[in-house]
């Protein structure tokens, strides 16, 4: 039987961003410098394949600093941590390396600057996400109020409507966030926003590529982890942009082939913490079943690179 034809649209940019690339490199370099085990507080990035690979090299992933011994290095994940965490590590005289994405650190600095100017913060983000927890933990309790939806804006209780600023999680839907910001500005006309968009370049670029690709596709797959905020947002953006079937898969084995029966065009992208090897695995799975023609949908070029911390560049 001849294979049915399939046009496979491949989004660009997709997959790893500079912050994820840097975080993984930090763990690898720490293992080279200090040997195994190196402890990592929380998954370094939200991707099982990446985490399992680093675990095989000698990284030990824990959820709490209390689970780390004093005499081994500890790395803080790319999502950022509350201020209390490095303070506790310093008190225990631990070697620690902060792998927080520089674009998340920028939001932390912004929040502190606003607080120093006497402003109460409102954060647009997802409750319980490690990035939100880390950003809210930069300031004393009660100084950062969380809103997740436009409806939350109407209910939020502030100290002084004339002394407010807002920041956002870096991995949100650009469109959803714009609606929440508009609601904040309508209710609190004096609220101060970021100098520059908090949603990171990689999140924005991946969403734009999906918007360009979605109308061409009968179905779309996002390669990414179920706990990856930016990956889940890509699924939502794809569905909203006109693709009837948009699903998240961690690997090729997760593809629901029955749901894809009869398709002629397929879109593939990946969240910022998904490695290219998993994207290629998905493409190969389609080549096994279809006569595939690949078309690139490129909406931006990325050449951002972040340096690793100096402690890893110095000899042991």
Which residues carry out catalysis?
131
What DSSP string describes 264-283?
Answer: SEEEEEE-TT--HHHHHHHH
As a whole number of angstroms, the distance between CA 281 and CA 297 comes to 19
Q: Identify the CA nearest to 8 among candidates 313, 314, 289.
A: 289
Strand partners, 265: 7
Q: Which residues pair with 62 in a beta bridge?
A: 41
Residue 243 has which token pair? Answer: 């693709």
On the 0-12 / 13-18 / 19+ scale of CB atoms within 10 A, 262 is exposed
Could you tell me which of 172, 273, 256 has the C-alpha nearest to residue 220? 256
Q: Which residue's structure tokens are 């609220």?
A: 191
Give me the phi and psi of 290, to 5 degrees please. Answer: -135, 160
Residue pair 183/150 in contact (Cβ under 8 Å)? The answer is yes
Rounded to whole angstroms, the Cα distance separating 14 from 203 reads: 9
DSSP-assigned letters across all residues of 137-178:
TTS-TTSEEEE-SHHHHHH---S-TTSEEEEE-TTS-HHHHH
């Amino acid at each position: 039987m001849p294979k049915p034809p399939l046009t496979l649209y491949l989004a660009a940019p997709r997959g790893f961003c500079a912050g994820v690339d840097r975080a993984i490199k930090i763990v690898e370099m720490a293992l080279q410098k200090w040997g195994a085990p190196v402890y990592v507080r929380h998954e370094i990035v939200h991707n099982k394949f990446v985490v399992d690979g680093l675990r095989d090299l000698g990284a030990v992933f824990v959820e709490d600093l209390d689970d780390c011994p004093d005499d081994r290095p500890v790395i803080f994940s790319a999502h950022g941590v509350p201020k209390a965490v490095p303070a506790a590590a310093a008190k225990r005289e631990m070697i620690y390396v902060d792998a927080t994405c520089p674009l998340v650190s920028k939001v932390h600095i912004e929040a502190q600057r606003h607080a120093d100017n006497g402003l109460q913060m409102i954060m647009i983000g997802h409750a319980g996400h490690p990035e939100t927890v880390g950003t809210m933990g930069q300031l004393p309790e009660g100084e950062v109020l969380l809103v997740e939806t436009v409806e939350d804006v109407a209910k939020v209780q502030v100290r002084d409507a004339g002394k407010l600023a807002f920041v956002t999680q870096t991995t949100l839907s650009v469109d959803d966030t714009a609606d929440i910001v508009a609601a904040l500005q309508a209710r609190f006309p004096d609220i101060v926003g970021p100098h520059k968009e908090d949603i990171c370049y990689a999140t924005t670029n991946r969403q734009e590529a999906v918007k360009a690709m979605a109308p061409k596709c009968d179905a779309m797959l996002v390669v990414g982890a179920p706990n990856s905020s930016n990956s889940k947002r890509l699924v939502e953006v794809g569905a909203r942009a006109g693709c009837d079937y948009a699903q998240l898969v961690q690997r090729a084995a997760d593809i629901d082939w029955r749901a894809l029966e009869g398709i002629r065009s397929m879109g593939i992208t990946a969240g910022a913490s998904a490695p290219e090897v998993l994207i290629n695995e998905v493409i190969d799975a389609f080549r096994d079943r279809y006569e595939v023609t690949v078309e690139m949908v490129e909406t931006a070029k990325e050449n951002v690179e972040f340096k690793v911390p100096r402690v890893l560049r110095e000899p042991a």
